[in-house]
Amino acid sequence: MTLLQLDCPTGLAGNMLLAGLLDLGVAEEVVHRALACLDLEDRYRLQLEVRRSHGLRGLHLAVESLEPDPPHRHWGDLRQQLADSRLPPDLKERVIAVFSLLAEAEAAVHGQPAEAVHFHEVGALDALVDVVGVCAALRELRVQRLICGIPPAGHGSVSTAHGLLPLPAPAVLEIARRRGLPLGSSEGFPAGELTTPTGLALIACWAERFGAPPAAVPLALGVGLGSRQLDRPNLLRFTLARPLQDDTSQPRLPGDPQPRIPGEGGLPWLDPPGTEPAETGAAAAAQVGGDGETAEPLLRQQAQIDDASAEELAFLAEALRQAGAVEVFSQAVLMKKGRLGTLVTALMPPALGPALRQVWWRHSGSLGVRESLQRRWRLPRQLERVSTPLGDVGLRWVSLPDGRRRAKAEYEDLATLARRHGLGLDQIRQLVTEAVAGRDLAGGSDRDHAGPAPEVADPGEPVPDRAGAGCGPAQAGLGPEGLETP
């Protein structure tokens, strides 16, 4: 099992995290490739510089904006931009999860709906570079576990677009409250911000837990430096490590590959050209079957509940989904002493297990939650938008092992158009079929001639795909029989 340890004695910030991961050995091209999927390749420049902070070496990163008039983004607009991007599906899921957590925290502290949150600092280009870059770099490392130390939050005040705010920043406290995260003492530090909302949200969405790491053998180190001058080294450190013994709380799935240990030949993510890195990330890498399907690990959490109303169960299910669960479902069960109850099941990426346990404790009366790891096989899929005379509709394509492709229109889009125009769902579906068939008869869109499409999954469903780590134009086609084509 491969472990990534994060030591943050002077707090967490997005640029420090990205600098540390690049210093660890992640190629800068990984970041540029991910940002190109958002069409941002000509809008920024990474300024990387090896510096020293109180005698300790590290890498410092600053993002230079090349936008003459950078826009301020509302969360609704930013989320749509991310959803429509060509990011690989598992990376897209992580990025949206980070920004969702930020939006919900900002909405709570400012007393407004999350959709209406006007990102000033967070929505700026440098924050997009930090969030997308850190998520892409962590995905590239393919580690199985990330454990973060307890970050100090800072004290005093900070100047923001909302004026002078107290420290810890309100959004930092809200993120910590929502996820049940510890914040370290800032006693003895000079006044100022140590942990930013972006930095904490990033690690909250990736870390297995916060606290001391287990005994392990260090394999590689990366140091990211902050910009402020403190009375001590202002840095965070990533350590790629091998635990001395397997953690029995995270059992290995049958067939899981052994992690590669770096040696004199280099680091596992810097293999010679033409070779494929060894599979080391249970949460970030998937196995590929002979027919193109992928296998990925999911953590299952379950609890039997007999003291909640239907409304309370629905609230719990929605809270689990909002916290990152891939799916939540319930079944009626007969419990001991003849009591009728409900078995609630949540499926999630293994890394989100600790955060979702906090949701169970907060929103249910259950005294225990069972956990087990499962393997899920998925067929290749992709999303595209189709224009109809009444509006755009999303299509979810799936590639079958026999070579056929099948598509299904997104229900929410169908329902929105049906309500708006007073039509039935079947009528909207027919319009979608006609629109796709007409487009193909006319020669197809530009996307039809540009090569294979990146696989795009449902929001919230992790579909790691090492071969599809880049992005490219999509390809779609539809036969005359409807939403299926050979």
Q: Which tens digit of pLDDT belongs to each residue from 358-406? A: 999 999 988 999 999 888 888 877 777 888 888 888 888 888 888 888 8
Fold of 294-378: Alpha-Beta Plaits (3.30.70)
Cα–Cα distance, 171 to 155 (Å, whole number):
14
- Kindly tell me if the per-residue pLDDT of 332 is higher than 50: yes
Q: What is the mean pLDDT of residues 71-97?
A: 88
Q: Which range among 31-45, 235-249, 423-437 has the greatest average pLDDT?
A: 31-45
- Kindly tell me if the per-residue pLDDT of 139 is higher than 80: yes
| Token pair belonging to 434 | 């006609």
- Kindly tell me if the per-residue pLDDT of 27 is higher than 90: yes
Share of residues in the chain with pLDDT > 70 (%): 78
Q: What is the pLDDT of residue 245?
A: 64
Type of residue numbered 62: A
| Least confidently predicted of 123-127, 142-146, 256-260, 345-349 | 256-260
Q: What is the pLDDT of residue 69?
A: 74
Cα–Cα distance, 87 to 95 (Å, whole number):
9
Q: What is the mean pLDDT of residues 468-482?
A: 38
What mean pLDDT, rounded, does the chain reach?
80
How would DSSP label each residue in 206-262? Answer: T-SEESPPPSEEEEEEEEEE-SS--SS--EEEEEEEEESS--TTSPPPTTPPPPPPP
Encode pLDDT of 46-63 as tens digits. 999 999 999 999 999 999
Q: What is the pLDDT of residue 47?
A: 95
More confident residue, 69 or 348: 348
- What is the pTM (predicted TM-score) of this model? 0.55
Confidence band, pLDDT 50/70/90 cuts, at residue 278: very low
* Environment class of 255 (CB within 10 Å of its CB; exposed 0-12, middle 13-18, buried 19+): exposed
From the list 162, 168, 173, the residue with the least C-alpha distance to 110 is 162
Encode pLDDT of 170-224 as tens digits. 999 999 999 999 999 999 999 999 999 999 999 999 999 999 988 999 999 999 9
More confident residue, 277 or 316: 316
Q: What is the mean pLDDT of residues 429-450?
A: 65
Q: Which residue ranges make up each domain of the chain? A: 3-243, 294-378, 381-485
Q: What is the pLDDT of residue 292?
A: 62
Encode pLDDT of 153-166 as tens digits. 999 987 776 678 89
Q: What is the pLDDT of residue 221?
A: 95
More confident residue, 22 or 247: 22
